[in-house]
Amino acid sequence: MKGFTLADLKRVMRECAGEDENVDLDGDILDAPFENLGYDSLALLETATRIERELGVRMPEEVLSGARTPRLLLDAVASAR
């Protein structure tokens, strides 16, 4: 099965939560806290729901709340599959 990449994550976040004009999502963001990227907890909840729908996986809330950067979220997605 194809992996869920940073590019996929950025696409999903742009679609469901929009993009902060002051942040360059195409820069080096893998370890940047979502907060610094302009995404709050609700934006992450929305993102997680999208990922669950696309991949047919479950992302429990306790896993999600620990995923504070794109890298941690991608790890969480990988372990949920």
18 forms part of the interface with other proteins (CB under 8 A): yes
Binding span for other proteins by CB under 8 A among 4-12, 37-45, 59-67, 72-80? 37-45
State yes or no: residue 76 binds other proteins (CB under 8 A). Answer: no
Q: Which two tokens stand for residue 11?
A: 């696409």
- Measured in whole angstroms, how far is the alpha carbon of residue 1 from the centre of its chain? 19
* Site membership for other proteins, residue 16 (CB under 8 A): yes
What are the tokens at 14?
A: 């742009």
Contact residues for other proteins, defined by CB under 8 A: 15-21, 38-39, 42-43, 45-46, 49, 52-53
